[in-house]
Structure 1
């Protein structure tokens, strides 16, 4: 099996599985988690379609479609989704840290919830919108076409690219890493306190939800943060040229679409695929996900079939639980 075929298979699986817990998070009004799932799904859909269109042989690639209009739109979504996955992760980690720090009263008014919603929206969508907009300032041509990857944004190797584009992924990564580290620190510091107090005030589902969000956010930070630092360092190795708005936005060469003969799927396209599957494992395999599946089956008139499948499924041994519940139990269990 070729790498391309394998990538298409796992990417398609991720596209199908990742949105399953979306309804649950929408009901909980968990904006960062909803954004993370959406950004991952969007990026994987783009990767899947592009691999189908531009993943042929070298001869086929040389005469492949130039992606007019399609790529002009798609590269903006690529920029937004790439940044959006990190901003959503940062927002999740920030909210978890606030929970651990017990910021604000336990009962929140509508005004307080509205402020938190606005903050989450600004974190999740602010940087992606900025990068989509700022990209035009340093966009020397419409885009590149890379074999297997397809539409790829182009940037000018001039100094404005650093503050406008290059610097933001590391900044977002630092913020996400800070809050993820903060959560880990607070978990270790207050483990005994939470074992004694939180265990009696939080339901099992709430604790399990907390741990699932914690695991997925920590996973995203651990994978993405080193990569954005490496990409930032790699981009700085190219010699910078003086910036000229006239040259960058000259009509000469704007419509020229370079074709780059990549040898395989770029590594940064595998990460959202893996992230999508991990999201499903932690968000889509609990009781809440089972309820969502039931609702979907009933929506399509297959409620009886869902009940039959549930009866046929092997039952867990008494006292067993999901991985996330086990972690939650270990973290919040009473100190011996």
Structure 2
């Protein structure tokens, strides 16, 4: 038994759920749809690997009817979801739409739902045209969709996927073009469009879509070439293609050629690898780190674990503040606030006024000009007092004059 097959598929299904919370809060239909398709695809692969481990028994037929159709839809769902994502990214990067109204958001959500779920369902229905029998069962891998290899199968199964991939790459290229035109003001442009995206999130989504489409292009072309490499079957009639439709073909491992078995083994792992790629793009971003901290904090509170004390900084830089000027008595009275002196006070030289003390946020550059404005005569003497006693204010018994 190949224990790595169900374990790897279950692990991939769990990993793909990690970015779910912040995509759910963002109401991002394409990324939520990718998570759903990848999650259920991995779950179905894991269940198949468990049920048909070292056997080809014809069991769970209804399960196979559902699982095989879901596999057909999933091959179209990933390109369709990435296409919706790249269309949205291109619209944000361009200047065609500065603000998004509630009605436009609603129409966009309906379009995303139609593309991410409606198009895969249509591909499931069209697969019935070239479905020669019910399904196949491969030892260790479970049930697989059956396809009548013909010209019709090429145009109904593989060509639509390649068309969607090409459209996705075109919109991704247009989005990158708009970015390079506004690369210096791109962050401000995202704020002007009232988008929840940051430049980091934008590029993660773009990189994920591009990598998934390159990966999907390689898999689609390779699968099509290997499948039709043995030759095409003639399309005679609907009745001939669907004759004995209820038949279930079984393939034990001993009768599968070594090259074909390796390709089947590789195809199985493409779905967990796709989920791992999706996880890698979103598991280490700023949103993910915040989510991890929230989860760890909740676990710490539940387990009553002490919080880690923050270490005090080894070195601290001194800061400077300006002490309030001593209150000066005059005929009209004077204010104790340094910024509200009268003209007479400003032009009178204080006794023992020391400009800076080491407990502040004022800088030397903003303090010296204010003292230069006064009629002191020698400005340099303010910074280099002759002695400490000259720099300190005179002793007083008035509490209001204490510095």
1:198-209 pair list within 5 angstroms: 198=189, 206-209=198-201
Aligned length: 301
CA distance in 2, matches of 1:182, 1:225: 19
Residues 170-179 or 253-262, more deviating: 253-262
Cα gap change, 1:40/1:105 in structure 2, threshold over 3 Å: closer, same or farther?
Answer: same
CA distance in 2, matches of 1:102, 1:15: 38
In the alignment, structure 1 residue 179 sits paired with structure 2 residue 171: yes
1:92-171 pair list within 5 angstroms: 92-106=85-99, 108-171=100-163
CA distance in 1, matches of 2:95, 2:179: 12
SS for the counterpart of 2:184 is: helix
Deviations 1:111-169 (A, max 9, x none): 11111112212221232111111112221111011233211111112333233223211
- Structure 1 match to 2:301: 304
Larger Rg: 2
User: What RMSD, in angstroms, separates the aligned Cα atoms of the two structures?
Assistant: 3.1
- Structure 1 match to 2:337: none
TM score, norm. by length of structure 1: 0.78
Cα gap change, 1:235/1:308 in structure 2, threshold over 3 Å: closer, same or farther?
Answer: same
Q: Which runs of 5+ in 2 are unaligned?
A: 310-403
CA distance in 1, matches of 2:29, 2:143: 29
- Structure 2 match to 1:81: 74
Cα gap change, 1:221/1:297 in structure 2, threshold over 3 Å: closer, same or farther?
Answer: same
1:257 CA displacement: 2.6
CA distance in 1, matches of 2:307, 2:174: 40
- Structure 1 match to 2:22: 24
Conserved in 2, the CA contact under 8 Å of 1:140 and 1:156? yes
1:206-217 pair list within 5 angstroms: 206-217=198-209
CA distance in 2, matches of 1:311, 1:102: 48
Conserved in 2, the CA contact under 8 Å of 1:21 and 1:292? no
- Structure 1 match to 2:377: none
Q: Which runs of 5+ in 1 are unaligned?
A: 313-336
- Structure 2 match to 1:334: none
Cα gap change, 1:48/1:130 in structure 2, threshold over 3 Å: closer, same or farther?
Answer: same
Deviations 1:46-83 (A, max 9, x none): 11111222232xxxx24x34441110111111111121
1:1-12 pair list within 5 angstroms: 4-12=2-10
Cα gap change, 1:47/1:203 in structure 2, threshold over 3 Å: closer, same or farther?
Answer: same
- Structure 2 match to 1:268: 267
CA distance in 2, matches of 1:160, 1:176: 24
Cα gap change, 1:165/1:9 in structure 2, threshold over 3 Å: closer, same or farther?
Answer: same
- Structure 1 match to 2:355: none
Selected match of 1:13 from 11, 31, 34: 11
In the alignment, structure 1 residue 220 sits paired with structure 2 residue 212: yes
TM score, norm. by length of structure 2: 0.66
